[in-house]
């Protein structure tokens, strides 16, 4: 096992490297190794996210996002789920470079959905009847809006 840590190239024209890279300051890093078989890339992404993202304590208001969603799609990951106006914004991404079918079970209170850009601007809202199914292209990031 070879483990290397490289420092990025300095950008002296913006600032001195010593200040930019905190030279002389102690840094602590955590590493993990996960034995796996070929073809288990989605497992690596899932476990890597779990290792790097500690649980986040939020306010009671932030917990008001409704339950009842379920996502299936082997290499598709949820990266955002948050209130958006009278509805909800969801951001998904395909993490291993494979075209992947996605199925999202949606709570009954949502009757419409639309694809959305990163600024939550919707395309065309369409009727929704409980579940949404589509394919996500390799490494695609997709925003979705759900409305009552």
Residue 64 has pLDDT above 60, yes or no: no
Instruction: Please check whether residue 92 is in contact with residue 141, taking contact to mean a CB–CB distance below 8 angstroms.
Output: yes
Please state, in angstroms and as integers, the Cα–Cα distance from residue 113 to each residue in 16, 52, 86, 97, 135, following that order.
49, 31, 12, 26, 16
pLDDT, residue 20, reads 62
Give the three-class secondary structure for 131. strand
Q: Give the list of residues 6+ apart from residue 8 with CB closer than 8 angstroms, or none.
A: 21
For residue 75, pLDDT beyond 70: yes
Describe the chain by its helix, strand, coil percentages, rounded to 5. 15, 30, 55
Query: What does pTM read for this prediction?
Result: 0.67
**Residue 18: predicted pLDDT:** 58
- For 38-62, the pLDDT digits (tens) are 888 888 888 888 787 766 655 444 4
Q: What per-residue confidence (pLDDT) applies to 115?
A: 95
Q: What is the DSSP letter of 123?
A: S
């Amino acid at each position: 096992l070879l483990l290397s840590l490289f420092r990025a190239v300095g950008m002296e024209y913006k600032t001195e490297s010593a200040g930019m890279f905190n030279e002389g300051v102690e840094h602590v890093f955590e590493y993990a190794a996960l034995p796996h078989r070929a073809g288990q890339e989605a497992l690596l992404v899932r476990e890597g996210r779990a290792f790097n993202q500690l649980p986040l304590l939020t306010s009671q208001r932030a917990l008001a996002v409704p339950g009842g969603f379920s996502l299936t799609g082997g290499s598709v990951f949820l990266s955002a789920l948050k209130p958006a106006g009278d509805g909800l914004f969801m951001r998904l991404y395909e993490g291993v470079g494979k075209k992947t079918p996605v199925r999202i079970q949606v709570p009954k209170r949502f009757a419409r959905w639309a694809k959305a850009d990163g600024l939550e601007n919707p395309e065309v809202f369409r009727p929704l009847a409980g579940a949404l199914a589509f394919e996500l292209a390799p490494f695609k990031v997709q925003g979705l809006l759900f409305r009552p």
